[in-house]
């Protein structure tokens, strides 16, 4: 479905106003996503998760240095193809709720997303209605403005916008952040539903616990590098089937696993990052 | 509540204008007499002053004016020898053509230029529009007007140099085409300055929007820059444009005073200057009140429009 091959990303860093350094945000990152799976990408803040999403979508700021290759359905995914496929085959559920236009009613925004995916305006209006119904957003929510929606509702609107485009690859960037357990369940279940329809879902999150129930595979990311990709069921018990120390430490540091930091007590930095995660 | 606040504003405007006229060094009797000043004896002067009520203390004069105002009478203009309401009515009819023409032109043109420049940030078109906007934004209105008269009226002879119609023709006999011909240059000059301001603010809002989460999300849906500018940009950029367009009504009035002087256009602006120079207190107060009302109504319209465009701004019961 999507193959990421040795992707490296550098962004300019201005140490002082005359000197430009390059900060490495992704470092030879490789990953393959298969159809019908929810693939969780887990890492601490600053691990490069969101930048990975933007690299796949082709939405990086202009002075970025990108190396390596992306393949979508076997063919290279370059700038031109990204532009063609954005909104039609590739969809992004953004991290920030401010991605909703505060001046436009919910249903109209969803209909715009459908139109941008190539639907006629009448068809787009109908499918926007269906998508919003599908995510249990009632008539009032459909006619509401973004500030009138709760966090969970706004998340579901963003999911509906990705859903309505019929995209085959959906990247969800921190979709469960700041939601209460009930709302989180609904949003995550919606993503699982997309994968069950045969779509590929890349779930970007910093919270391993929330990703595990719906994920098929989990990739742990750290400092722009892939640490390990493991099936979701490897994260159980003491995590013995995990190959990498960092993944084990991350797993064992979770509150349900007794906040154990035994593996990492020798490396304070690791411990700190595990706590962040 | 709104209305009582408005009347309070109007009262303050009247008080300040009246106070300024009282401390003005121009003696109304001298100004009224003009060159005949020397032929009038002190007794006659006193008689005139008594007739106009200039001999009474300022507070009494103001109270007198206020009583008249409440009964709907704005007083008598001694410069034009007509009721103030009539002077304002006639003059405003001519000024409204100039003001509304300039206002519409600057709002519409300024907004579209700003949207285009903002949507195509860094392009050649953007550079041309921004340069133009910065240049005209830093140009004084009267100076531009003088240059325009010199170039188009004197050198090229395309437009008339003065007035609202040909001299020596009764205003009933002036055709619409001639009226418009006389209006072209004043409107263009007045609009040119308003355009720059609105363009720059609209452009700034557009730039902000094109980098916002909203725009990036739209790009992720496969939208083009044009699509984002059209669907999201127009809505977002219209807020500062509306603020400026309605807030600039006062500035426009100020600008029209200068422009009407330069083009010798007999509108409200010229009447204001005449009233000030010849100490015509009732006329000046009348114009001040009228202008304040005009600007307040403009701001009220802007307030209402905000609520229509941005649902986050709800009209409170003030």
Q: How many residues are there in chain B?
A: 318
Please give the residue of chain B at the shortest CA–CA distance from A93: B217
Sign of CA dihedral A219, A204, A195, A170: negative
CB of A53 closer than 8 Å to CB of B217: no
Task: Give residue B317's pLDDT band: very low, low, confident or very high (50, 70, 90).
Answer: very low
Measured between CB atoms, which of B213, B222, B227 is closest to A94?
Answer: B213
A159 phi and psi angles, rounded to 5 deg: -65, -40
Residues 6+ positions from A161 with CB-CB distance below 8 Å: A91, A93, A109, A110, A113, A131, B221
Element spanning A190, H or E: helix A181-196
For an interface test with B, the pick among A60, A116, A127, A157 (most B C-beta atoms closer than 10 Å) comes out as A116
Measured between CB atoms, which of B221, B222, B309 is closest to A103?
Answer: B309
- CATH 1.10.3720.10 domain locations along chain B: 84-309
B227 touches A at CB < 8 Å: yes
SS3 assignment, position A203: strand
- The ipTM, to two decimals, is 0.86
The pLDDT tens digits of the residues spanning A142-168 come to 999 999 998 889 999 999 999 998 899
Instruction: Looking at the structure, give the CATH architecture of the domain made up of residues A2-89+167-238.
Output: 3-Layer(aba) Sandwich (3.40)
Sign of CA dihedral A71, A76, A79, A81: negative
**Do B223 and A57 count as a contact with CB atoms less than 8 A apart?**
no
- Output the pLDDT for position A272: 52
* Virtual torsion, Cα B35, B36, B39, B40, nearest 10 deg: -120
Percent residues over pLDDT 90 in chain B: 20
**Do B312 and A117 count as a contact with CB atoms less than 8 A apart?**
no
Size of interface A-B (CB pairs under 8 A): 68
- Output the pLDDT for position A273: 53
The pLDDT tens digits of the residues spanning A3-59 come to 999 999 999 888 777 888 888 999 999 999 999 999 999 988 888 899 999 999 999
Burial B12-26 (b: 16+ CB within 10 A, else e): ebbeebbeebeeeee
CA A195 – CA A215 distance, rounded (Å): 10
CA-wise closest residue to A66 among A54, A75, A49, A80: A54
B226 touches A at CB < 8 Å: no
Task: Give residue B276's pLDDT band: very low, low, confident or very high (50, 70, 90).
Answer: confident
CB of A33 closer than 8 Å to CB of A217: no
* Pairing relationship of beta strands A75-76 and A225-231 according to DSSP bridges: unpaired
End-to-end Cα distance, chain B: 6
CA-wise closest residue to A172 among A200, A137, A145: A200
- Output the pLDDT for position B315: 52
- The tokens describing A206, both together, are 């910093």
Q: How many residues are there in chain A?
A: 277
The pLDDT tens digits of the residues spanning A184-236 come to 888 899 899 999 999 999 999 988 888 999 999 999 999 989 999 999 888 88
Domain B84-309: give its CATH code: 1.10.3720.10
Mean pLDDT of B17-32: 78
CB of B29 closer than 8 Å to CB of B54: yes
- Tell me how close the Cα of A93 comes to any Cα of chain B, in angstroms: 8
């Amino acid at each position: 479905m999507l193959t990421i091959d040795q992707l490296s990303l550098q962004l300019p860093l201005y140490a002082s106003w005359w000197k430009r350094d390059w900060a490495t945000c992704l470092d030879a990152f490789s990953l393959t996503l298969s159809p019908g799976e929810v693939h969780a990408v887990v890492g601490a803040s600053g691990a490069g998760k969101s930048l990975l999403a933007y690299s796949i979508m082709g939405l990086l700021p202009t002075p970025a240095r990108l190396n390596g290759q992306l393949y979508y359905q076997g063919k290279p995914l370059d700038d031109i193809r990204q532009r063609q496929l954005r909104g039609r085959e590739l969809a992004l559920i953004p991290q920030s709720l401010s991605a909703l236009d505060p001046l436009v009613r919910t249903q109209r925004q969803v209909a715009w997303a459908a139109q941008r995916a190539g639907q006629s305006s009448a068809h787009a209006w109908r499918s926007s209605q269906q998508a919003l119904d599908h995510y249990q957003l009632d008539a009032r929510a459909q006619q509401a403005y973004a500030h009138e929606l709760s966090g969970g509702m706004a998340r579901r609107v963003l999911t509906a916008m990705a859903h309505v485009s019929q995209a085959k690859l959906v990247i969800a960037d921190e979709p469960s952040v700041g939601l209460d357990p009930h709302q989180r369940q609904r949003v995550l279940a919606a993503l699982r539903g997309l994968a069950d329809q045969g779509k590929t879902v890349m779930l970007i999150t910093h919270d391993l616990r929330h990703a595990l129930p719906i994920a098929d595979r989990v990739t742990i990311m750290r400092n722009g590098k892939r640490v390990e990709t493991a099936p979701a069921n490897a994260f159980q018990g003491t995590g013995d089937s995990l190959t990498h120390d960092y993944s084990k430490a991350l797993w064992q540091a979770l509150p349900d696993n007794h906040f154990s930091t035994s593996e990492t007590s020798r490396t304070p930095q690791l411990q700190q990052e595990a706590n962040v995660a | 509540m709104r209305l009582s606040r408005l009347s309070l504003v109007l009262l303050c405007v009247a008080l300040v204008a009246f106070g300024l006229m009282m401390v003005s060094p121009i003696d109304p009797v001298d100004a009224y007499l003009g060159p005949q000043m020397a032929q009038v004896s002190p007794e006659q002067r006193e008689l005139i002053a008594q007739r106009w009520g200039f001999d009474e203390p300022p507070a009494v004069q103001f109270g007198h004016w206020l009583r008249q105002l409440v009964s709907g009478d704005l007083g008598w203009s001694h410069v034009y020898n007509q009721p103030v309401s009539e002077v304002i009515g006639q003059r405003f009819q001519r000024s409204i053509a100039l003001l509304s023409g300039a206002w519409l032109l600057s709002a519409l043109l300024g907004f579209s230029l700003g949207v285009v420049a903002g949507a195509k940030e860094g392009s050649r078109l953007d550079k041309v529009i921004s340069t133009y906007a910065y240049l005209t934004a830093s140009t004084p209105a009267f100076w531009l007007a003088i240059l325009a008269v010199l170039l188009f009226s004197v050198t090229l002879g395309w437009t008339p140099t003065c007035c609202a119609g040909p001299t020596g023709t009764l205003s009933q006999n002036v055709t619409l085409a001639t009226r418009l011909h006389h209006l072209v240059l004043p409107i263009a000059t007045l609009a040119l300055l308003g355009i720059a301001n609105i363009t720059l603010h609209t452009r700034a809002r557009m730039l902000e929007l094109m980098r916002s989460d909203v725009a990036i999300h739209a790009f992720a849906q496969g939208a083009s820059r044009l699509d984002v500018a059209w669907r999201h940009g127009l809505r977002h950029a219209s807020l500062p444009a509306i603020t400026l367009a309605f807030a600039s009504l006062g500035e426009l009035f100020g600008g029209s005073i200068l422009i009407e002087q330069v083009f010798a256009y007999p509108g409200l602006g010229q009447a204001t200057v005449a009233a000030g120079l010849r100490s015509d207190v009732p006329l000046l107060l009348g114009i001040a009140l009228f202008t304040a009302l005009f600007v307040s109504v403009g701001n009220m319209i802007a307030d209402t429009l905000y609520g229509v465009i941005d649902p986050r701004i709800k009209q409170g019961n003030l």
